[in-house]
Structure 1
Amino acid sequence: MSDVKAIFDSMVSRFDADEADDMDAIFQFDIDDGKQYFVIVDDSGCALSEGEHDDPTVTLEMDAETLKAVMGGELDGMAAFMQGKIRADGDIMLATKLTQIFPNE
């Protein structure tokens, strides 16, 4: 199992349904090493899939190190975006909620 897959599995296990209340969103992650994953968040919870979704709400492009740092709480997502480490397309405000929906332990 790749490091990237482990990060996504960890995110799903930390999912906070209260923070995602009334959310209906698809987060597409394009990782620079060619891996693609998407997370569907809705009233029933969250589901992780590998690949590219046809109609994501927001697409986030970054390298694996940035993904690990942001989801591990070592790097603020907005700071990473401002530094150009994360490229976003779509509902960018939704991306700012990621660390609330998937909080660190």
Structure 2
Amino acid sequence: MTDFSPESLSSIGPKEFSQLVKSTPDSKIAEVMSSDVRPKILDEVFNRMPTLFRADRAGTTSAVIHWIITGGANGASDTYETVIENGACTVTNQPVREPKLAMTMDAVTFLKTVSGDGNPMMLFMTGKIKAKGDLSLAASIAKLFDIPKA
């Protein structure tokens, strides 16, 4: 399997990404995600969200979700905004709208969640994911995306 870097992520599909996250030790993911390549990796993951969005499952869902990823350089956090409305999904790293749901987690937890390697409900129940706002939306996010199974 390839190394955990922005270059490798841009050249692999969702299933390979899932396998990469599963096969990479948490300590290595944490090390990479606290380095200067962190923004590139987060951008790569978030830029894929609209392509994995399942409009057929969204129905009339209308939501603004803020993803707050902790553990950046000098304790910084990165916030991305996902907007689901009118059967479409858009993402930005410049949040401007009031969120219906805000979820806070470290980078390792985030990557495990979006790669299908972590159970979001268990991560929430154990305090690894903190959610503020519409918790029923939090419980249904996974069904709105084609999350690969590692």
User: TM-score when scaled to structure 2?
Assistant: 0.66
TM-superposition CA deviations, 1:56-99 (whole Å, max 9, x none)? 00000011111110111000110110111100000011011111
Question: Hey, what does 1:81 align to over in structure 2?
Answer: 124
Question: Hey, what does 2:68 align to over in structure 1?
Answer: 30
SS at match of 1:31: strand
Q: Over the residues paired in the alignment, what is the CA RMSD in angstroms?
A: 1.3
> 45-54 or 62-71: which moved more?
45-54
Following TM superposition, by how much is the alpha carbon of 1:44 offset from its aligned partner in structure 2, in angstroms?
Answer: 3.9
Among 31, 37, 44, which residue is 1:6 paired with? 44
Question: Hey, what does 2:7 align to over in structure 1?
Answer: none
Structure 2: tracts of 5 or more residues without a match: 1-38
Question: Hey, what does 2:107 align to over in structure 1?
Answer: 64
Q: Rg larger in 1 or in 2? A: 2
State how many pairs are aligned: 105
Point out which structure has higher relative CO (alpha carbons under 8 A, 6+ apart). Answer: 1
Q: 2:58–2:87: 8 Å Cα contact kept in structure 1?
A: no
Q: Which runs of 4+ in 1 moved over 4 A?
A: none
Is 1:92 aligned to residue 107 of structure 2? Answer: no
Answer 1 or 2: which has greater strand percent: 1
> What letter matches 2:95 in structure 1?
E
Following TM superposition, by how much is the alpha carbon of 1:52 offset from its aligned partner in structure 2, in angstroms?
Answer: 2.9
Structure 1: tracts of 5 or more residues without a match: none
Answer 1 or 2: which has greater helix percent: 2
How far apart, CA to CA, are the structure 2 residues paired with 1:75 and 1:50? 23
